[in-house]
Each structure stands twice: as C-alpha cells, then as structure tokens.
Structure 1
C-alpha cells in the first residue's frame, strides 16, 4: 500500500495489517495522515489492524492553530471505533493530544514500558475534539477521566494500565498488539456516576479557565446525549474555545516558551552539553536555591564561602529547603543524604568545576575564560554572564552580549536547563523582571495615591488572575471609584510600556520574552498570555491613546518612543518576535 507520502506506511504480517504513522519525529495527525488512515480502514482484507508509530514516539504533535481540514480527527476516531475488524494501538514514547485521542478510539491498547500518555489540550484553553470526552469516561470512569482531562498531566505506562487506559505492557508493543485479546465493548457508565463526578469536579476546580468548564460540560453531556448529538456538542465547544481570548493567550504563552528555548545560531551549532558539576562562590539566598536544584538533578556542587558565618547561613538555608521537601513527601531522607554527599566545600574543588557561579564580581570580569569555564555572576556587570533567578525558581535571566562567547553561553544554558531552569537571554544586565515588576508596582501605587482603594485594586487584579504585589501607600486624594477593567488596563499598560523601553535598550530581545519571563517567573496568569500579548490584543493605537491620557498623572505611563515608531512603520508588536 503506497502511503508513505501521506505519512502512513502499511505492512502485512499474516492476517495483521500494521499501519505506522511516519510523519517525522512527532508523527503529526494532519489532514493527509487522517485521510490515509481512514482510506486504509475502509478497504480492509485482514483479521485485525495495529496502529503504531515510527521512531521513538507514537504521536505527540499538537497544533497551535485551529485545524478545520477534513477529514477531522473526530472522523478518524469514528472510523477506528467502527472498523469491521479490531484495531489495537501499539504505543511507545509520547502519546499526546490527538495521538492520545486516537489511542482511546482503538479497541485495545498495548504500551511499551517508557510510554507516557497525556491529554494536554486544557493547557491551550481547549477541550478534546475526537470524541474523547465520551470514550475516556467509559474506559476508565468519569472521575479518572476528568482528572486527566482537567490537569493535562502525563501518566506513565504502569499507571495507565492500573487505571484501565492501557490493556497490557510489552517490550515490543507491535508484536503484542498483533495477539492481544480484545475486551468486550464497554457499555455506557451509569449517568448518575458521571453527573456526580462532574459536580465534584466543578466544586474542586480552582481555575477560572473556560476550557475546564467546557471539558466538564462535555463529559456531562456524554452521559445525557446520544453519541451523534454528543459529537456535535463537543465540536461546538471546541470551536468556541478556539476563538476565545483565553485560548489566544495560552497559544501565545506556548509560542513564547518555544522562542525562549531556541538558542542563538552560533550557540546552537555547538550543541552544548550540561556540566556535571557547578561551583558556588560566596553567600547569597539565590545560591542556596541553585545548590538545591543542582543537587536534586544529580550534579556535584562545590561551595566556597568567604567566612564561617556565611557558611553556616548557607547550609542553614539549604537544610530548611530540604526539610520542606521531606515534609512534603517529595524527598526521602535517604535521597536527601545521597544528595548532600555530592556537596563539598572549599576552594580547591570549586576551581575545577565547568560552571562557576559568583555572588559578587567574577575574576576575570569577562564572558570568556582561558580555562574554558563559564563564569556566571548574580546581577552581573556589563561584559559578564549576569544571572538573576525569578521568584518562582523555574526560570532565570542570563545576560549576554549578542553571540559573544558562544561556548560559555551554551554551557551555561545547558547546565541551568539540567537544573530545571529555563534561561531567558537578555542584553546588558539581568534586570528585565525587576524593571517590569517595578513599573507595575509604580502604577498601582499611583492609583492608590489618587484615591483608588486597596480593596478595589485587589479585587480588580484578583479577577484578572493576579495579585497586588506590595504594600500600597496612603491616598493623598479623595476616594475615587474606578472600573476594574481600567485598573487592570493601567497596570498592564505600565508594564508593557516598560517592556517597550527595555526592548529599545536591547535588554529584552523579544516582546514574547517579556511575557515568558512574567508568566514563568513572576506569577502572571498564564491564561492571560502576558502584558505584551495583552497590549497586542488591545492594539498599539489604543495603548498609545491611553498612555498619553494617563501620563498626565505619572511618568510611568509616558509612551515609550518605540510605540510611535511601530505605529509609523505599520508594524504589530508580534512583528518584533521574528
């Protein structure tokens, strides 16, 4: 069957037809692949079909743009479910999104031990589109299905087997799928059980995201509607969500993360490898956090302290962090002891580590090192690899000058990534997050001085998904009513305006870097995308008009010159992302 060009290959093994997804490393289920699979399933001359992936994964691609091409994913899943012979999914590697929905539509699933299955659409503000909100509850129960669909979390093969999502485990899932027994068609679960699970999910749901409510509604509808009516219900829910501001914001957040993960060409060409050891010099709260993350990732840590008092303070901070992990059950006492065994002190060992992190100015004060080491400096001065950790301890700023010293930059980024820190590259010094947050705080403080009550400010930001980050000053004017939307717009505009200034200075490399840093590092609500995304949604002309109006009250709203230049050149904010 000549289907290789469509991303599907076919192979007969006796009375078994093996259909392999073969469209690159992620095996995307695009319209051409969907059509090829449906065509193969409509002209069968075999006893059973095995669906498998090529390479290391089954199918893990998730489109960030609406896919209205035909046949749809729902068409494919229906064709699998109603095939005249059993269809078994042979799973390995990542099985995500459409790939997971296709697997659920099969009559049985066999998984390799390293398989991970996830339905992450909720993270993009979406609900399933292939009928999974009907099939998954029938397969594993409504409560377990809602847990997977609302969290987007991945489950490993063993956990999937325990919950009934996978029928069996096998080192060679294709061979096992060719022989695995087929369970009887599962009847619908009792409607009362599903409705109870949906009510409980609504009660426990902490997120205000629309996607979560739509997912619950789709699972609920599966217990009340005939299958064809449920398919239409799920399809409408998906289309509504695809057009929602929340989904646009979440899509923007994902794209921002992807851009941040791309290294500059001169660095990427070197294919940097993470170090196995880091050295810490000095005493600072950030160093204790770095030590904790490095030890947890299996690295050796050498720590040189300037004094015994500094040493005691650093180790006390590390003890406190580890004790909290043990109490939370995320770290066993034995693992803690094993990690501590990789911590050494003194200057001799520290001098040999590939990555050196200094609490103060490094020596030499340069990106480059004759020893081939990468010297990172907390804060840093111009010409150094300056480092600043965001409060979340999930991301950091790394100051670089263009693509100077690519080997050192690559070593630093790869090592920080191993420690669980995504690096946002900035120019000059790592002050991006500090300056952005200061602009937002200045705007809120000015509103408080103008008489807007702390209650109004807290409620407005709370409804947006954020919080007032500092103590507010006393009002020096009569109390003033202000609509919540204006409060939020003034706060967002101040942050975005500072973002434009930092872009102009070369501190921020892209508008999406601003958003990524605040979402990942400073608790900006992910489903709102970020301040630059919000500015893009409102439009530059509207933003400039508002800034000019509000700048009469405080210079934090004085429009950045870059805004005027973008408007004059007919450019959008996203055009600066490249």
Structure 2
C-alpha cells in the first residue's frame, strides 16, 4: 500500500494503491504507520510523500463513503491533522494528479513540490459535497480566499504550471519531482534542527477585507438550477468560515457541512452516476482483448453530425478524411469546421497553433478512394436503410482488412447494416449525439457478429475522444431513443387530456430536466420526429400518439429552424414564446376526441413521464439490450438532460420504491379508451419480479458487473 525507505536522513513514503492511489482505509493506515516510523526514527530529519505510478493521489475512495471503513481511523481529517502537526518537515512530491483528498493531503504537508504538468483540483462539488478533509480551510490560506473559492466552486483541475504564482507550491519543476522534493526536505530538515518549526498551513493567516460582502456576492451570483445541488452554497459557507473564524472552528464547520451533505439524497444520486460511468466501461460477456490501432479515420457525410464527429476525432489528434457527395457539399462542411475553430481561437479557447493543427487534421474528398488506408470509417448519412446499404457496400469494397466500419444510426438495425458487408465482425454502431464534438454520450451498439476487439476498440476510442460510452444491444432506438419514445408518447397524451405544452415543459424543467419534451422536439425538428413516428406506426399500428404532433407539423411549425414549432422562436429572444395558435390546436384536438379537458398537476406530469422512462428501461434490461441498470442512468444523465443529482431514471425508480412504481402505474393504466393505457402501462416482468421479491437494481448491477 505504501513504500517506505530512508536515504541520507530523508524518509520517502510512496503511496502505492493502483491505479490512482485513492486514500482508502488500508492506504491511510499505511501512511499513518510510515509517518509514525519517520517521527520516531532519530536518523530521519524530514519526510517526502509521493505517489507511485500515474500520479500522487486521485483522492478519497468514493466506494467507502457508505461503508464503516469510510469513517474508521485514521479518518482523512484526523490523518491530515496529524501530518500537519509532525515535528519534522513533510514535503509533498506531486506528479500526474493530486485531486480531492489527494490535494488535501498535499495541503497538509509543510511544503509542496510539483511537476509542471501535475493536475490539481478539488472536484467534490460535482459529487454534491464540499472538500471534507481541510480543503476549504487550508487552500485559502495558501492562495487567498477569492482564488480558493473559485477553484472549489468550479471543481475543475488546473495544471501546476498555471498556478505558479498562486502560493500553492514551493517549487514547480520540469525535472524529477522526487529528487527536487528530497533536496527541499533536507534544507527544511536542517532549519528545523536549528530550532525553526515547520511551516504549518493551518497556522497561516487567512484574511480578506470585506470577506462577508465578498461571500454574500458569491452566493447572489450562484447559478443553481431549481432544486439543484446545495453543494456550491455550502462551499461558500466553508470558505467564509476560513476567512472569519480560527482554523479549528473552520475545520469543525467544514466537517459538519460535509457530513450533512454526505448523508443527503443528492450525494447518493451523484455518487451513483459517478460509479455508474466507471462501471459502464466494463463489457459483459466479452473477453478482454487488445484494441485495434486507430490513427486515421474516415467520416461519410458532412452535415451537422458528420462535421461534429470529424471535429471530435480531430480534437483527439486523429486524422480524418471527410467524404461528401459533391464538391459543393464538401466545401460547405469544411467551411463549417473552419469557422468553428476560428470561433474558438477568437474567444481564446484555443491557441492559433492548436486551432490550425486541428483544421489541418481534417481533409475532404468526394470519392471513397482515400478511405483505403483508414483504420475506422464512420457513416453519418441520412437515416434511410437503402442509402446506408449503398454506403456500406462501397465501404466493403474499398476499406482495408481489419478496418472498423461504424454507423452513426440512431435507430436502424445494426445487424441489417452489417449484412451489407462481407465482414460483419468489423461492423458496429457508434451513435453520437448532436453536436457530436460537444455532447458527452456515445452509444456503442454491439451487433450479433461484432468482434470483441472491435468492441474494445470502440470503448478505447470513446475514452480517447472524451466521450462517456455505454454499450447497447440492437433494437429500435437502442437505449436512449427507445426510452425517449415512451416519454414523448405520454407527453402528447397529457396534451389530449388537459395539459398545454408549456405546462408539461415547465413541470419537467422545474423537476430538474435540462429541457422539457416539447422544447426538445422544437430543437430537433418536428418534421423529423413526424417521419420517425410514421415509420414506427407502419411497423406497429397499435402505437398510440397524440394527434397534436401531426397537427403542429401540418401548420408548418417544424421547430426552431423555421422560427415556429410548439413555441414561437423570435430572433434575438433566447426564451421561446407561447403560441396561441398551438394552444388552440391542442384544445381543438381534445374536442375532436370527445374528451373533457381537466387540470393536470405537475406531480402527475412528472410521474407519468418518469415512469414511462423507467418501465421501458426495465424492458430493455430484461431483453439484454442494456448491460446493467446503471448503464441506462448513464445514458440519460450524459445525453438526455436528466439531472445528475437525480441519479437517472432507474435510480429514481429504485429510490421511490418499486412497489410504489407498480401501484402508480396501475392507477395510470385506466384512461381514455383510444390510448390503450392498460397496454402502455403493462409493467415489465423484471419490474414485477424485483418489486415482488424485494430485490434491488443495485444488487442486479453488482451481479452483472465483472
């Protein structure tokens, strides 16, 4: 767990808990034992603490947070207090990363030496917490109240080089960080031997003129979604305590707030999503095999999606050949890409050199010849199976053996697409979300014949381009869009019964969704949704949609792109405006159906839409489309605007209680005859089994995780 050696009067303690040296109980005990050994060894004048492998320390072990070992001694706060109180100087030698508890450990040391590329930060706010082991009290004493608060509230990581003049580090080096730290430790050891005390962070002053006014301003400017995490405000409270109270009282305040948040529902949800994203990288029922090398890629189709995919690849240093049907379309696509990078350069987001390098990685062509050397080709053309057949038949003839052939389809059958080639093992789905260079989610669709190394290559690619990847089986709409159809079906039926579009959107947004269902439709295009709906009804005439969807399209209200959809989209006005025309059409449709409109409260709106998602999620699980329940939550929190602090639709169902989910669905199963509510709300057999047995999705997740 930790390595201990003494060289010329300096004890070097190496944290060794791969892969990130997280500070779980075993490592904390080893560190405590090493510090005791150093303090009681008369030959030791000073101590250096460093990390093995990839970095100094990735922080606390989040898996311990709800286990007894999470609070067992030495707990992080007590251990770091003990370290700071050491009579011999302790120097942190930092490389790789020092995040969360890892940075708090370094803050408690008497000096800090960092490699220039070391990433440091306190990301706890993203988990709905405050730093709980002295971060809010020690950091302001080193870098000042304002800078500390900005770092804590952002939760972002920063390179040591960018913090060179902050006061956080005693030395930043491009050389061997341990050697530099040992040299500094010897110097400090000699000073202590001559009668000086180590420089303890907790004893440093933390003063700011008008600190209360500053923190009051910070609270007033917080942009927290309605019902969102209380962690940002709590961070301000803790830093204010650092500025206004003695160190010990500030530490007590931090501990009190941390424990309060750690016992809350939002931390449970955020922790669930954090762990779910890590678990999603494990592929069930697939051998661990090396990934194929991907250095050159091709993208077919230069529209919004194809251009975005090209930029996502180029941003990761992968060269891209973008293929369009003609020179005019290609010129338009390359111009869009160039303008994007020019915009980033002008806003200072990229240096001119980086922007130019990324533009240079994307070249264009109007034929497939240049794809012969590609390691990966991603098709991003229209959602038409015949068009995709033509593309994959041509790719099959041109692409080299071993090239991965991927479709960006959002709903078509990957196995049908793979059958257009003589190499179905090399084919899979890579469903990006628009804009592809921004959105984090990537659904990796495993076909019946997809080879294990093709699947592992897709997951490795996702990591390289900064995506959150989830493996899906083959079905219409995969995980996300299949569930979203049920969500939209209920949204429309609510309009028939008495709700108006803005009431449905408002209820969901106040609950925490980034955007309500009708605003989403306006953004995506109501005409596109109409085509998808028509195709689904053709395959399954029993599906029931509200006629208001088609009524809006018939009025030419196709969405934001034409300035008119469920809302009026006025140029220069960010918020959509209510449409009297649409509201009249909604009411008229209810009259055509012979329905007596009723008042529908926000609670019913939220319940019907969330439970529609969850029930479809249970069906996806029992069919084996999703590997595990937590993967479904990752899809929705990463790609569909589901609030992370709610944990995802499956987590929400579990928190509510599956028996109550069943009871509520049963109430909803009685409705207007045309809706076939009893059919829509028929519960998935897995949901019934778990609710009846008292088993949990959490247990199901664990049994399905390698």
> TM-score over 0.5 for the alignment?
yes
Shift of 1:257: 0.6
Which residue of structure 2 aligns with residue 447 of structure 1? 494
Contact kept, 8 Å, 1:9 with 1:21, in 2: the verdict is yes
Once structures 1 and 2 are overlaid, which stretch shifts more, 295-304 or 543-552? 295-304
Aligned pair partner of 2:283 in 263, 281, 288 = 263
What's 2:624 paired with?
A: 506
CA distance in 1, matches of 2:614, 2:396: 30
Structure 1 residues 431 and 162, CA, compared in 2 at 3 Å: closer, same or farther? same
- Of 75, 78, 84, 2:87 maps to 84
Please list, as runs of the form range in 1=range in 2, the aligned pairs for 1:136-535 lying within 5 A after superposition: 136-170=139-173, 171-180=175-184, 187-190=204-207, 192-207=209-224, 208-264=228-284, 266=286, 269-342=288-361, 343-345=363-365, 346-358=367-379, 359=381, 360-361=388-389, 362-363=391-392, 371-379=401-409, 380-383=412-415, 384=418, 385-391=428-434, 393-401=439-447, 404-429=450-475, 431-466=478-513, 467-470=515-518, 474-475=586-587, 476=590, 480-535=598-653
Greater shift, 288-297 or 199-208, is seen at 199-208
Match of 2:6 among 7, 12, 33: 12
What displacement does 1:509 show? 2.5
> Runs of 4+ in structure 1 displaced over 6 angstroms?
365-370
2:119 matched residue in structure 1: 116
Deviation of 1:160 (Å): 2.8
Aligned-CA RMSD value = 2.8
Please state how far the C-alpha of 1:30 moved relative to its aligned partner.
2.6
Q: 1:458 to 1:357 in 2, by over 3 A?
A: closer
CA separation in 1, counterparts of 2:179 and 2:352? 42
Does the 8 A contact of 2:373 with 2:400 survive in 1?
no
Residues 161 and 167 in structure 1, CA contact (< 8 A), matched pair in contact too: no
Tell me the distance in 2 between the aligned counterparts of 1:393 and 1:30. Answer: 33
Correspondence for 1:573: 697
Q: Give the match's secondary structure for 2:406.
A: strand
Taking the aligned partners of 1:31 and 1:510, their CA distance within structure 2 comes to 29
CA contact (8 A) 1:264 1:403 kept: no
- Shift of residue 75 of structure 1? 0.6
Give me the whole-angstrom Cα distance separating, in 2, the residues matched to 1:377 and 1:546.
39
Moved more, 558-567 or 82-91: 558-567
- Once residues 19 and 92 of structure 1 are traced to their aligned partners in structure 2, the CA distance between those partners, rounded to angstroms, is 14
Q: Is contact 1:303-1:347 (8 Å) kept? A: no
Aligned-pair distance for 1:526?
1.2
What residue is the counterpart of 2:32 in the other structure?
Answer: 38
How much has 1:375 moved relative to structure 2?
A: 0.9
Contact 1:279 1:351 in 2 (8 A): no
Partner of 1:3: none
Structure 1 range deviating more: 563-572 or 180-189: 180-189
For the structure 1 residues 116 and 399, does the alpha-carbon distance in structure 2 shift closer, same or farther, using more than 3 Å as the test? same
Contact persistence 1:49–1:85 (CA under 8 A): yes
* Alpha-carbon shift at residue 313 of structure 1 (Å): 4.1
State the 1:334 CA deviation.
4.6
Larger mean CA deviation between 225-234 and 546-555 belongs to: 225-234
CA contact under 8 A between 1:437 and 1:495: conserved in structure 2? Answer: yes
Alignment of 1:59-98 (within 5 A): 59-64=57-62, 65-66=64-65, 67-98=70-101
SS of 1:393's equivalent in the other structure is coil
Instruction: Identify unmatched segments of 5+ residues in structure 1.
Output: 1-6
Residue aligning to 2:51 = 53
Contact in 2 for aligned 1:516/1:530 (Cα 8 Å): yes
Deviation at 1:469?
2.9
Relative to structure 1, the CA distance from residue 11 to residue 414 in structure 2 (aligned partners, 3 Å threshold; closer, same or farther) is: closer
Change (3 A) 1:413 1:35: closer
Tell me, in whole angstroms, the C-alpha distance in 2 between the residues paired with 1:283 and 1:40.
Answer: 59
Greater shift after overlay, 134-143 or 13-22? Answer: 13-22
Q: 1:481 to 1:204 in 2, by over 3 A?
A: same
- Residues 516-575 of structure 1, C-alpha deviation per residue, up to 9 Å, x if partnerless? 111111221111111111011111111111111112235344423331233344432233
Q: How many residues align?
A: 571
How far did 1:455 drift? 4.8
- Aligned counterparts of 1:367 and 1:505: Cα–Cα separation in 2: 31
TM superposition shift of 1:166 = 1.3
For the residue of structure 2 that corresponds to 1:431, the secondary structure is coil
Instruction: Call closer, same or farther: CA 1:270–1:365 in 2, change over 3 Å.
Output: farther
Larger radius of gyration: 2
Q: Deviations over 1:180-227 (max 9, x none)?
A: 366855632225444333223212221331122222111122233333
* 1:425-462 CA distance string (max 9 Å, x none): 11114532222222222222322332234454343322
How far off its partner does 1:32 sit? 3.6
Using the size of structure 1 for normalisation, the TM-score is 0.91
The alpha carbon displacement at 1:79 in A equals 0.9
Name the CA shift for 1:483/1:225 in 2 (closer, same or farther; >3 Å). Answer: farther
Q: CA deviation at 1:309?
A: 4.3
Distance in 1 separating the partners of 2:261 and 2:151:
19
Measured after TM superposition, the shift of residue 365 of structure 1 is 10
Q: Which runs of 5+ in 2 are unaligned?
A: 189-197, 382-387, 419-427, 520-565, 567-581
- Change in Cα spacing, 1:39 to 1:491, as seen in structure 2 (3 Å) is same
Cα 1:350–1:439, aligned 2, differ >3 Å: closer, same or farther? same
Instruction: Return the alpha-carbon distance in structure 1 between the equivalents of residues 264 and 700 of structure 2.
Output: 24
